[in-house]
A and B are shown apart, each in its own frame.
Chain A
Amino acid sequence: MHSVLIIDDEDDIREIATLSLEAVAGWNVYTASSGAEGIASAVSLHPDAILMDVMMPGMDGPTTFKTMQQTEGIEHIPVILLTAKVQGMDQRRFAELGVAAVLFKPFDPMLLAQQIANALGWKDQVKA
């Protein structure tokens, strides 16, 4: 069973993503509401992947990702950025950071797990 750490400052997004990955895919989900909390959780929990919002107060997604890349023990964990920005320039900028994928909000709760599995090459079938 896969485990995913969701990092987002918005309660409703964390809740929707959590229920989507737990109920639809049956994965283990951990959550954090800031970049700093997310780094600490990643260090202690070692999830299989991290799903992280781009725009967060304090440390934003790209800055958090760069810090993770320099943090021993979690630098190998694939990170997927989640953004509500739709401009092509933003998409390219995020992709160039070296993240595993960029997904867009709003996402379809029924399809989120499948999108993550596809992005990370996880072969196991997602139920929905």
Chain B
Amino acid sequence: MIPAAQDISLPKAALAAQEKTRALLADLWRRNRPVIEARLATLDRASAASDPMPEDLRLAALDVAHKLSGSLGMFGFEQGTVIARDLEQLLDDPRPDARRIAILAGQLREMLLS
């Protein structure tokens, strides 16, 4: 049976909408790169800080990790969200493990900016 015209046009419309959304997302990711770089720089500063990590820096890095965990998966970086969640958990500790933060921040940088 030949499907009605509406049944044929719906998948096409869906595909077009998905295509358009993907293109807009790619453009948004490009425009968003300076924000990502600034967030990674905050994580780098936190990992290089003296022990104990200054509280204002820890809270700034915690905020950055939270934002990254909430946004990276939307751009297709699901593993980035997993790493950012680990960072968020580490930074939630008043005396976070700076070495572990450096490793995870390095993995994020490699994944997002290479």
Question: A residues within 8 Å of B by Cβ?
Answer: 10-13, 15-16, 19-20, 23-24, 26, 55, 84, 86, 105-110, 125, 127-128
Q: Check B35 against A12 for contact (C-beta < 8 Å).
A: yes
Q: Check B71 against A19 for contact (C-beta < 8 Å).
A: no
A13-B71, A16-B74, A84-B66 known; A23-B20 Cβ under 8 A:
yes
Q: Check B25 against A16 for contact (C-beta < 8 Å).
A: yes
A42 and B79 alpha carbons, distance in the complex (Å): 36
A10-B71, A12-B35, A12-B71 known; A109-B25 Cβ under 8 A:
yes
Q: Check B72 against A12 for contact (C-beta < 8 Å).
A: no
Q: Check B13 against A10 for contact (C-beta < 8 Å).
A: no
A26-B17, A106-B74, A127-B14 are known; give 14 further A-B pairs, CB within 8 A: A10-B70, A13-B70, A13-B71, A16-B25, A19-B21, A23-B17, A23-B20, A23-B24, A84-B69, A106-B69, A106-B71, A107-B74, A110-B18, A127-B17
A12 and B28 alpha carbons, distance in the complex (Å): 8
Contact of A105 among B13, B18, B32, B70 (CB under 8 A): B70
Question: B residues within 8 Å of A by Cβ?
Answer: 10, 13-14, 17-18, 20-21, 24-25, 28, 32, 35, 66-67, 69-75, 78, 81, 85
- Minimum CB–CB distance from A6 to chain B (whole Å) comes to 13
Q: Check B71 against A24 for contact (C-beta < 8 Å).
A: no
A42 and B38 alpha carbons, distance in the complex (Å): 32
A19-B24, A55-B66, A127-B10 known; A24-B74 Cβ under 8 A:
no
A127 and B14 alpha carbons, distance in the complex (Å): 5
Contacts of A15 in B (CB 8 A): 28
Contacts of A13 in B (CB 8 A): 70-71, 74
Contacts of A127 in B (CB 8 A): 10, 13-14, 17
A23-B17, A24-B17 known; A106-B28 Cβ under 8 A:
no
A90 and B71 alpha carbons, distance in the complex (Å): 19
Contacts of A12 in B (CB 8 A): 28, 32, 35, 71
Q: Check B71 against A109 for contact (C-beta < 8 Å).
A: no
